[in-house]
Structure 1
Amino acid sequence: MDGVILSARIERDADKLLAQIARAGSLIVADKEGARADGFVLGLESARAVADETIEHLYAIFDTATEERLKALSK
């Protein structure tokens, strides 16, 4: 989570989600894990738990991780 300031608990959960995306063994699982990460960020956004710029950065991090995993699995 470089460049993003999060509480220890939120960072731990975000790191777990990134790891799950990276470990996805199929396109379906990768897409599912990406959707789960999006839901996590939406929850943070709805609860106003972090700043708006952090929300945008988190969406970008998870979207990039999901896209990279999907590309890797498509080969």
Structure 2
Amino acid sequence: ADDLAAIPLRELLVRNPRLDAECIDDVILGCANQAGEDNRNVARMATLLAGLPQSVSGTTINRLCGSGLDALG
């Protein structure tokens, strides 16, 4: 899941070259039914895989079917 989530994060930076990645405070992602290898902070791993600075934190919300909607806020 984290490798898939890293793709749009990376593309966001490519498509918006004036966006300073240092200005990003937090990445919030929804991920349902995390288990086994995926049972970790997917958002944090995705930020690192996307090449965002280590100062950017990641928050993963697991509310089963409502995870993505809850991540939007």
TM-score by length of 1: 0.36
Structure number having the greater strand percentage: 2
Structure number having the greater helix percentage: 1
